[in-house]
Structures are given as C-alpha cells and as structure tokens.
C-alpha cells in the first residue's frame, strides 16, 4: 500500500493518518532513545509555522532510520514516513511520529551554521542562505508586494505594457548606464526606466504601467542602491501632478494593507513591528522642496537650495515620522529632463518624491511630464542628450500632445520597508551591486 504524499501545509488534513513527507532538515537533536528533527519544505502549517517537528523513537523505527536521525546534518534532504499527530503543545499544532526516515541527499559540512556569519559570507552563499526562515519570509513578502502591485493596477483598468530592456535612448542619467555593443547599430543601453515607452503607450491606452528589472551603473555602495532593481512605473493620461500624488498615496496604502492582511506569519518571523505599518494610512504628509530644505537645515543638514536630497537627508527627514511624506516641486537642475516646468515658479518642476518612514527613504519618484514640444526640446539640448535618439519621444508632443504624469516605485526599497530590513540587497533573491555579480 502506498503512503499518501503530503506537504507540511497539507498535514492538518491528515491528522491520525500515515503520510510521506519530502523535506529538508532545518534542525535536529537527539537524547539517547528519542531524536527530534525540524523539517521544512517551503510550505507552512495552518498558523503560518514554516516547519514541523518529526519525532523518531528508537523503539518504533528500523536501524537505518535511527542511524539517519542521529547522524542528521543541516539541510540534508529526507523522506519521512509517519503518523500525523494533532498536538496543541507542538509548534504549529502538528507533529509527525516517524516510522521510517531515509536520507535522500546528505549535507555534510553545510557551510551556514547556527552562529553569527558576516553579511559578505552570507551573500557569498546566497544560493544556500535563501533556505533560512528569515529569507523565506522576505521572499514571500516580496511575492505579496508584487501581487498587490499587479492587482492594484489591474483592478483600476491600467494596461500592463512590457517595455524593452535594450534601449537606444537614455532614460534618466547619462552617467549611470550599462552599455553593450549592438551589431551594426552602435551602443545599446540597459534600460534605467521604462517610462519613455509607457508615455507612448499612455497615448494609445490611457492608463498603463510597466513592471520589470531596471539597471543603473551607479557607483553607490549604500544600503538603498542596487545596480539591477525592479521598478513599477504607471503612466496616466490627462493627469496632473496632484492627481499623480493621489494615486501614489492610494497605491502605497494598498500595498501596506495587503502585506498586513496576507503576510502576518512572515512579518512575525521577521519580528517586524506591525504597528509601524498599521500607522501608514492616508493622508500622507506633504512638503514643498523649499520647505523641506529649511526643515533639513534646521535638523543640521548642509543641503542648499538646488540639490537633490542625499541619503542622509532622507534619513533625517523620515526617521521620526510615522507616515510617508511627499516632497514636491524640486529645482529643475536636481531632476531629469522630461519633467514639466512649474508655471508658478519656472526654477522648479512639477514632480514629487515619496519618502518612507523609519528612515527607509525614497520609495517613489514621480512627475508630470513636459508636454510642450519646444520646452522639451530645449531641455534635451540643455542636458546635452543626443537629439536624434529622442525623435520618437518628441513625436509624442508633435502628434496629439496631452497632459500626463507617472511615477516609479522601487520594489526592493518597498519590500525592505515592509520587512523592516535596512539593506535592500537582502530583499532580492540574487542581488547585483557594484561589487557583487555572483551567485
Ligand atoms: O526616481 P527614479 O530614478 O525615477 C525614475 O526612474 C522615473 N523614470 C520613474 C517614473 O516617473 N516613471 O527611480 C524611481 C524609484 C526610486 O524612488 C527608488 O525607489 C527606486 O526607483 N530606485 C532604486 N532602487 C534600488 N536601487 C537603485 N539604484 C535605485 N534607483 C532608483
Ligand atoms: Mg528619484
């Protein structure tokens, strides 16, 4: 008779029955006549506990099983047959009484041991470190955030537009491009943004968004920078800067709400203070750039009018703040060429950055786009951008120009904030930074 195969998640439906579980050994201990294995398989018990205890009693199992239980290694893969027992005292409410244990893949000298390892060591072993309960919880939250992003826009009838990764035009900063040779066509760049393309799509479909990996050859070694990161970029026709901020506020509140609703067990594993997330309800704070500079100087920053907010300014601005804060209408020279000149103060542009609380910093950059052909062309020339590469982008102002706005939300910055993880390289499965290309 074959034994029913079960995952940890399915055990609760098999109380009292014998099942077969395929899993990895997360922990073990033995005391003479009885051995305990903590097993994980990537699923969770009904209360969210991502592991189950398997109890091996010497008298109940064959010799091979008993030896295997006593020679267990971290992260060995095993096949266990045994009876599922509902037990209120067991973590997660269920336990396995083992009848047979077989090691499928031994794991002698597993490199990650239950002791302090430095971050570089852990990142060198990222392919194995992913199995740690904290990392599993982070990846689950990331998945929830991605699903929330897609649901938010799908439910509001935004059309998903997949934009190219190989591009011929510079989206953001000329100095931060990865280049590659492209046949007879010269240099191609890895996309820094999908924005210019979703602007074209907005004239076709109204409200659209792209969501994918983007690349920045930034020489920043900060806790907030990756060279490859994921960004979601909505673009909305007939929407001004005010309307843009209203969508950003609703969007961020939606993501936070979803993580609180569906990610409780993972937030528990991460020991995240959920009251900090529960406080993130609209309306968010709003400050003009000029007010923000005064505020920061009052807190000891050396920022002067005209500069973008640096990492330390972002921390200063948000460390004591329970809610996210919008800073709007930045100086032209601090921001990208495509932002719309502010008719009320032409030294500034109609844009906003949204900064997350607790010191997490900028999660969104957004703006109303320059929709006037002559002004946009002048800005392209001022920035010294290659005009010929922007012919198609200027066409959007030549043929049926329209007020439109959009923004980019950084996925890793958002997930780091949700998880309470300060360094964003820990929230992407395989981070790419200035000094890391493997694993
Ligand atoms: O402010 P950024 O550069 O804006 C844009 O790229 C616009 N084209 C967006 C748009 O309007 N469609 O980037 C947007 C967000 C930042 O707020 C930040 O969250 C994230 O992307 N980001 C990074 N995340 C990780 N590593 C980096 N190097 C990042 N650079 C930006
Ligand atoms: Mg920005």
Structural domains of the chain, ranges and CATH numbers in brackets: 4-105 (2.40.50.140), 126-426 (3.30.930.10)
- pLDDT value for 158: 98
How far is residue 287's CA from residue 428's CA, in Å, rounded to a whole number? 31
At 395, the pLDDT band (50, 70, 90 cuts) reads: very high
Percentage of the chain exceeding pLDDT 90 = 94
Atom of ligand 1 nearest to the CA of 218: 28
The sign of the CA dihedral 175, 181, 182, 187 is positive
For 362, counting Cβ atoms within 10 Å of its Cβ (0-12 exposed, 13-18 middle, 19+ buried), the class is: buried
How far is residue 10's CA from residue 240's CA, in Å, rounded to a whole number? 50
Residue 274: pLDDT over 60: yes
Q: Which residues line ligand 1 (CB under 6 A)?
A: 171-172, 193, 195, 216, 218, 225-226, 229, 231, 233, 362-367, 406-408, 410, 412-413
List strand residue ranges (DSSP E) for 369-425, in order.
404-410
How far is residue 404's CA from residue 345's CA, in Å, rounded to a whole number? 19
Residue 268: pLDDT over 90: yes
- pLDDT value for 291: 98
Residues 6+ away with beta carbon under 8 Å from 386:
169, 170
Query: Ligand 1: which of 245, 408, 434 to mutate, most ligand atoms within 8 Å of CB?
Result: 408
- pLDDT value for 32: 87
Structure tokens at 7: 């995952």
Residue 310 CA, ligand 1 centroid: distance in Å = 14
List pLDDT tens digits, range 225-256.
999 999 999 999 999 999 999 999 999 999 99
Of 84, 45, 112, 99, nearest to 269 by C-alpha is: 45
Which residue minimizes the CA distance to atom 31 of ligand 1?
410
List strand residue ranges (DSSP E) for 12-86, in order.
18-31, 34-40, 52-57, 77-86
The sign of the CA dihedral 338, 204, 149, 9 is negative
94-121: average pLDDT: 96
What are the residues whose beta carbon lies below 5 Å from ligand 2 (ion)? 365
Query: Ligand 1: which of 325, 366, 413, 414 to mutate, most ligand atoms within 8 Å of CB?
Result: 413
List pLDDT tens digits, range 275-303.
999 999 999 999 999 999 999 999 999 99
At 144, the pLDDT band (50, 70, 90 cuts) reads: very high
- pLDDT value for 1: 57
List pLDDT tens digits, range 312-345.
999 999 988 999 999 999 999 999 999 999 999 9
Residue 51: pLDDT over 70: yes
Lowest mean pLDDT among 40-54, 75-89, 168-182, 351-365: 168-182
At 18, the pLDDT band (50, 70, 90 cuts) reads: very high
Atom of ligand 1 nearest to the CA of 365: 1
Q: Using the structure block, give the residue that is written with the tokens 């191609």.
A: 188
Residue 392: pLDDT over 80: yes
Residue 173: pLDDT over 80: no
Which residue minimizes the CA distance to atom 24 of ligand 1?
410
Residue 433 CA, ligand 2 centroid: distance in Å = 18
Residue 174: pLDDT over 90: no
Q: What is the pTM of this model?
A: 0.97
How far is residue 74's CA from residue 40's CA, in Å, rounded to a whole number? 11
Residue 128 CA, ligand 1 centroid: distance in Å = 29
Alpha helices (runs of H) in 174-238, residue ranges in sequence order: 195-205
46-54: average pLDDT: 95
Ligand nearest to the CA of 252: 1
If you average pLDDT over every residue of the chain, what do you get?
Answer: 96
For 134, counting Cβ atoms within 10 Å of its Cβ (0-12 exposed, 13-18 middle, 19+ buried), the class is: middle
Residue 417: pLDDT over 90: yes
Which residue minimizes the CA distance to atom 30 of ligand 1?
225
Structure tokens at 52: 């189950």
- pLDDT value for 219: 87
Evaluate whether 301 touches 313 at the Cβ level (below 8 Å).
yes
How far is residue 72's CA from residue 326's CA, in Å, rounded to a whole number? 53
Q: Helices 195-205 and 391-398 sit at what angle, rounded to 10 degrees?
A: 30
Ligand nearest to the CA of 227: 1
At 218, the pLDDT band (50, 70, 90 cuts) reads: confident
The sign of the CA dihedral 95, 100, 105, 107 is positive
Evaluate whether 27 touches 60 at the Cβ level (below 8 Å).
no
Residue 390: pLDDT over 60: yes
């Amino acid at each position: 008779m074959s034994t029913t195969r079960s995952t940890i998640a399915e055990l609760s439906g098999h109380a009292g029955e014998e099942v077969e579980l395929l899993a990895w050994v997360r922990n073990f201990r033995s005391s003479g006549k009885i051995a305990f294995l903590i097993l994980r398989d990537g699923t969770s018990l009904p209360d969210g506990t991502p592991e189950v205890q398997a109890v091996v009693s010497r008298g109940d199992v064959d010799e091979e099983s008993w030896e295997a239980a006593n020679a267990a290694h971290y992260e060995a893969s095993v096949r266990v047959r045994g009876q599922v027992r509902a037990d209120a005292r067991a973590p997660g409410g269920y336990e396995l009484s083992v009848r047979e244990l077989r090691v499928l893949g031994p794991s002698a000298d597993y490199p990650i041991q239950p002791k302090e390892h430095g971050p570089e060591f852990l990142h060198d072993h990222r392919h194995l470190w992913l199995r740690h309960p904290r990392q599993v919880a982070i990846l689950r939250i990331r998945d929830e955030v991605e699903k929330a992003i897609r649901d938010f826009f799908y439910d509001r009838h935004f059309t998903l537009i997949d934009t190219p990764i190989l591009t011929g035009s510079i989206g953001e900063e000329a100095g931060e491009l990865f280049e590659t040779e492209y046949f007879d066509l010269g240099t191609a760049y890895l996309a820094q943004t999908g924005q210019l393309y979703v602007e074209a799509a907005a004239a076709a479909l109204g409200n659209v968004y792209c969501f994918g990996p983007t690349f920045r050859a930034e020489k920043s070694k900060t806790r907030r920078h990756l060279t490859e990161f994921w960004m979601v970029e909505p673009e909305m026709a007939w929407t001004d800067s005010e309307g843009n901020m209203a969508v950003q506020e609703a969007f961020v509140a939606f993501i936070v709400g979803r993580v609180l609703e569906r990610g409780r067990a993972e937030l528990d594993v991460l020991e995240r203070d959920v009251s900090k997330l529960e406080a993130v309800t609209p309306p968010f704070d709003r400050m003009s750039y000029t007010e923000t500079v005064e505020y920061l100087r009052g807190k000891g920053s050396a920022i002067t009018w005209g500069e973008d907010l640096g990492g330390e300014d972002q921390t200063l601005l948000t460390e004591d703040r329970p809610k996210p804060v919008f800073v709007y209408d930045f100086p032209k020279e601090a921001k990208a060429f495509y932002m719309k000149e502010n008719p009320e103060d032409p030294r500034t542009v109609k844009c906003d950055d949204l900064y997350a609380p607790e010191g997490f910093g900028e999660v969104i950059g957004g703006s109303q786009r320059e929709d006037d052909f002559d002004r946009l062309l002048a800005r392209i020339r001022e920035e010294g951008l290659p005009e010929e590469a922007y012919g198609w982008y200027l066409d959007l102002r030549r043929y049926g120009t329209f007020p439109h706005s959009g923004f980019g939300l950084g996925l890793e910055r958002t997930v780091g904030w949700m998880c309470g993880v300060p360094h964003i390289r820990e929230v992407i499965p395989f981070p790419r930074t200035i000094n890391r290309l493997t694993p």
